Structure formats: C-alpha cells, structure tokens
Chain A
Amino acid sequence: MSIDAVETPRRLLSLPRPTALAAPLAGALRRAAPTVAWGLVLPAVALPGWYLAARSGVLPEQILPAPAYVWSTFVDMVRSGELASHAGISLLRVVEGFGLGMIIGLVAGAAMGLSRRVDDMLHPFFIALSQVPTLAWIPFLMLLVGIGEPLKILVIVKATLVPVVINTRAGIRNIPKGLLEVGDVLRFTTGQKLRLIVLPGTVPPVFTGIRYGLTHAWIALVSVELLASSEGLGYLLVWGRQMFWLDTVVVGMIVIGLIGYVSDRLLASVEARLQRWAPRHD
C-alpha cells in the first residue's frame, strides 16, 4: 500500500481522533467547561485592549474597527436580512455543487474501486485533475461557461469530487481480501457481497472523503464568490473591501468561519458514529 488516502484528510486538518468525539455528551460538556474558561482568557484580555486602542485612536479604524462597531454592523445586517440572504445564497450553491459532486464522486470512486479496468483508465486522470488546484480552474471555466451560476456549481463540484473519489476508491480497495474470499465460499452474489461486505467496511473511509469534500467545497465557494459573484458571503467580503467597510469584512469572515466550523463538526460527529458502528478489520 503506497497511499494512505483515508488517513490524509485527518492529518491535513489535524482533527481530534474519532474516539474523543465519541465520548458521551455529558462527559464532553463537563470536560469542555474548563476548556471554554481557558479559551476566554484571550478575549478577556484582547477585547478591552482592542476597545481601548480603537477608542484612543492608537488603532486607526481603517486597520481594525472597534469591537462594538463590528457588533452593531453584525446586528444591523442580521436585522435587515442582508446577512441571511448572502449566507442563504452561498449555502444553496454549496448544497447544489456538493451534492452533485458527491454523487458523481461516489459513483466514479466505487467504479474505480470495484473494477480494475475502470481504475486503470480513470485513476491517472483523477490524479492529474487533483494536481491542479481548484483555484486554477476558475479562470478556465469562466471562459468556458461564463460567470453565471453554472460556474459556481461546476467549481464546487470539482472541489468535492476529488477527495470523494480518492477516499471511496481507497475504502473499497482496502477491504481485506479474506472477507471477500469468505463471501466466495458462502457463494454470495455480487449484490450480497456489496451489501454485506463492501458497504459496511467502506462507509467510514467514504464518509471521511465526503467530509473532506465539504471542506473543499466551502473553500471553493468562497474563492469563486470572491472572483466572480454579486451575492453570497464571498462577495460580501469584496463589497466590504471596496467600500472600505472593515466591519463588514470582519463580520463576513466570522460568518464564513462559523458555517465552516458548524458543518464540519456535524459531519465529524456523524463520522465518529459511523466509525464506532463499523466492523473492525484489523
């Protein structure tokens, strides 16, 4: 085995080990309390410092606006529905692109994992595709399909596709030969083999790929919205920058971070559950 594609995403993101996440909720909360308390030390020092610096003019507002100002902008944008509308547009794009990319990725990855011939034909192609960052494809796609909605969806599909394919393929391939041989002995049909052996064993790595795909999809969305869009959270940053509204830019960044965090956590908890439920091969 030359590649540990299943392991890569976790290493990249350096996520906590699944076992830690699988801990019961109450225990997690109890353990979280001191973490939260310690985590509040920095803002407890930084926020008043920021406030004082902004107030006294040591920190010019064109470098960093006062926290209260950022907050009031946030409240304004929530009240006016502006923030919800931008976030909604971004989320819709991600859902569409990510959903499509995931389906194509699962099918292609499964085909590559199950059939040697398909794999020989498609795998080098996918490796080549993954070598060129999504960001680089954007101008190419802009020339090809213009700057409308299809561009955004295509970019997100591409971003989702690669990790899903690589992990699905590896997940299926990593199923121990012995198990399949047992299936042969028991005279399982192909359908039975898929349902009883392949599927349960591959769900966790495939899900890791999906989760990684979502992270990619989110970054791709922000990139494409920065480059060519008139709405959405990425555009909010561009708009804020051009109008010299640092408060808007900061609010946009926080919302992008929050959505990225929440969606990743959601998938992580599902992943942890799957990992526990899956049979162990080792």
Chain B
Amino acid sequence: MPPTRRLLIRAAFAAATLISAQAAGADPVTIRIGYAAIGVDNRPFAEGTSAATARAGNFVEDEFKGAPDIKVEWYFFKGAGPAVNEAIANNQLDFAYQGDLPSIIGRANGLKTKLLLASGAHKPTYIASPIDSVVASIKDLKGRKVAVQRGTNGHLSLIKVLEANGLAERDLQILNMDSATANAALAAKEIDAAVGDTGLISLAEKKLAKIVYTTKGDDPRFGRYAHVLVTEAFETAHPDLTQRVTNAFVRAAHWSSEEANRQELLELWGKSGTSTSVLAEFFAGETLKYRNTPLIDELFIDQYRQAAAKSKEFGLLRRDVDFNGWFETKYLDAAIKDLKLEGYWTPYDASGKPRAN
C-alpha cells in the first residue's frame, strides 16, 4: 500500500505544483485555515483567541471581499493540535491556529511551517475537579485520575504546572481525552480532575465541577502558547496572500484588544456555543491587549524553546527541534506598520516581565 500511496501523493503534488505555478496569474485560490479546537457540540467556531475572532467576525473573508477568485475555508478539529498536524502532513491546510506543543512535534517530524503571529498566546489553563472532590490543590492530584488531551498545549501546560509543584506526569494517572469527553467524564465524576478552560468554567458555573487551580495570575510562563502558522509551500507560492491573511489576523487581534469591544467580543465568540458569562469569567481581571497580543516577543520565543527542551526531557519528543527560520515575523511587522499599530501591544521579556519599548 505505501508505494501506491506514494505514487498518488507524487501525482497530487505534481498536479498541485502545476496548478500553483499557474496561480501566479489570477486563477482561483482557496485559502484553507485549520483551527485546533472545535465549538460546543462540534459547532464550526471557537472562542478565546484573536483567530477565533477572525473566524466569527469574517476578518479574513472581508480582506478578500473584492477578490471573487479567492475562497476562504475554515476547518475545526476535535482532535485539536495533533489532528491539525495530520492535516498539514497531508497538504490539506494552508494556515492553522495551533498550540506550542503540537507545532513543535510537527516541526520535529519534518512538517514545513512558519509561525506568523501569536494568537491565544497568554491563555490560562484551568484544572477542575468534581464539586464534592477532596482535591483542592495541584499537590492533591498525586495518584489521581486526571484527564488531558495528550500532545496539546494543555498537556504541556499541565507538565509545567506539575513541575512547579514538585510533581511529574508519572505521579498522576493521566487519562487521554478530548475536551468534550473530559467534560462529560468530570460531570459524571468518573475522573478526579480535568485540564482545560472554558468547558471547565462552564461546568463550574452549573455547579457540576469546581475550579481547583488556574494559571491566571500565576507565573505567565505556565499558561498555554499558541500561534497562527502558514505552510512553507503556501508562503512560497503566495507571499502576497500570506501578507494579506496576516493583515486580517492582526486586524482581528487589534479589534479583540480594544476594551471598548469587550462585551461585543464575548458575544461574537458565543457562536462557538460557550456562554458570554463563561467567557467573561475566562477574561476577568486581564486586559484584552495582554490576552490577544499577536507579538512574537522574547517571552514567546523563549517559551517555545523551553517547550521543546521540556518535551524532550519528558519523553514527548525524541529529537531536537531546529528553531532557525521558524518564527517568520516579517509579515507581522509589515501588518503592524501598515495598520499603524506600532507600540500598541506591550512586548514581554523572557522572564515574563513587560519590556519598555
């Protein structure tokens, strides 16, 4: 089977190169954007990131309003980051919103991508337990059944939090579940804790679970990091389109960072099926600028390097990751300049402190 499959791929590849060679003209292009999450009950929307804003608010579609030849398609993945990697490997996506760990795993396995901008990069992680559970802190998790989706940025975030509390993954009974399954299992009290975010806040709101811990307010390095990436193949074939898509995402990040839009933003994200009150809680006490910054700053880059080192240390990664040329900020810089947003977002240094410009 593999050789046949190989042939098919090569044929498809040849066809694709032929097509993209012609696409230099004004031939129709479909921009395929993947998102490493899915809405409640599999709605094709997400929340909590500037990429989710871009989707729900049609920022990318609006960017190409005047170009009928350019189509935009969005794909949402219940299998989260790992499933996005499979799609990228099969040449089924051009852009993707994805977390740090899955992208690093993809890079280590030879997926050719470039990171364009941060999105959802300061997202806090939550850990919740059944409402009447004795679990009250991270240290209580020792020996307990904890659900997390392996290979996602939530997984890495858990590892960082455990480490800070003197624990390791092997001290827990880790159950591998996607967030919908984990939420159901938590409500049914089948597990002692789950790692996630809005799904858990929602359960806590319904008194079906309690939040035991959140990285919010703790060391900003414990949270999850994520980004929007482009495949090298698309970037090489369409640098102009890559720039315009980046512009659209940066515009969405800007709109999502304006405090005046807070209520409207939470309602827009409601398309994913998550209630506004849950999202309000998710964003309470933090500025939108902090949460929705697109900047690939020192903190961001350092976190990715550490993520790779930690993943290798914990056996999630078997090889070193080459970071050279992976962070491609020229499109982001041009977009910020274009939109006159220089100095709008605060960059952070590697220790997690704001850096004066």
A and B: bona fide binding partners: yes
Contact B106 A244 (CB under 8 A): yes
Q: Which of B2, B6, B82, B173 contacts A230 (CB 8 A)?
A: B173
Nearest chain B residue, comparing its CB with the CB of A80: B315
* Residues from chain B with Cβ under 8 Å of A244 in the complex: 82, 85-86, 105-106, 108-109, 151
- The 8 A CB mask of A43-65 against B (1 = contact, 0 = none) is 00010011001000011111110
Q: Please list the residues of chain B having a beta carbon within 8 angstroms of any beta carbon in chain A.
A: 2-3, 5-6, 9, 79, 82, 85-86, 89, 105-106, 108-111, 149-151, 173-176, 181, 185, 188, 190, 316, 318
A260 close to B (CB within 8 Å)? no
Residues 60 to 86 of chain A near chain B (Cβ within 8 Å): 60-64
Q: Which of A63, A228, A239, A241 contacts B2 (CB 8 A)?
A: A63
| Given A62-B109, A62-B111, A230-B173, A242:B151 Cβ within 8 A | yes
A146 close to B (CB within 8 Å)? yes
Nearest chain B residue, comparing its CB with the CB of A241: B82
Contact B175 A230 (CB under 8 A): yes
In the bound assembly, the distance between CA atoms of A64 and B9 in angstroms comes to: 13
A235 close to B (CB within 8 Å)? yes
Nearest chain B residue, comparing its CB with the CB of A245: B318
* Residues from chain B with Cβ under 8 Å of A239 in the complex: 150, 176
In the bound assembly, the distance between CA atoms of A243 and B151 in angstroms comes to: 5
A199 close to B (CB within 8 Å)? no
B318: min CB distance to chain A, Å: 8
* Residues from chain B with Cβ under 8 Å of A257 in the complex: none
A-B contact pairs, 12 of them (CB 8 A): A50-B2, A53-B6, A62-B89, A62-B110, A62-B111, A63-B89, A146-B188, A242-B79, A243-B105, A243-B151, A243-B316, A244-B109
* Residues from chain B with Cβ under 8 Å of A241 in the complex: 82, 86
In the bound assembly, the distance between CA atoms of A50 and B2 in angstroms comes to: 9
Q: Is the interface of A mostly helix, strand, loop or mixed?
A: loop
* Residues from chain A with Cβ under 8 Å of B316 in the complex: 243
Nearest chain A residue, comparing its CB with the CB of B88: A62
| Given A61-B109, A146-B188, A235:B176 Cβ within 8 A | yes
Contact B105 A60 (CB under 8 A): no
A180 close to B (CB within 8 Å)? no
Nearest 6 pairs between A and B by C-beta?
A242-B151, A242-B82, A62-B89, A146-B190, A230-B175, A244-B105
In the bound assembly, the distance between CA atoms of A107 and B105 in angstroms comes to: 52
Contact A61 B105 (CB under 8 A): no
* Residues from chain B with Cβ under 8 Å of A147 in the complex: 175, 185, 190
| Given A147-B185, A148-B190, A242:B6 Cβ within 8 A | no
Nearest chain A residue, comparing its CB with the CB of B111: A62
Contact B190 A230 (CB under 8 A): no
* Residues from chain B with Cβ under 8 Å of A53 in the complex: 6
A238 close to B (CB within 8 Å)? yes
Nearest chain A residue, comparing its CB with the CB of B311: A243
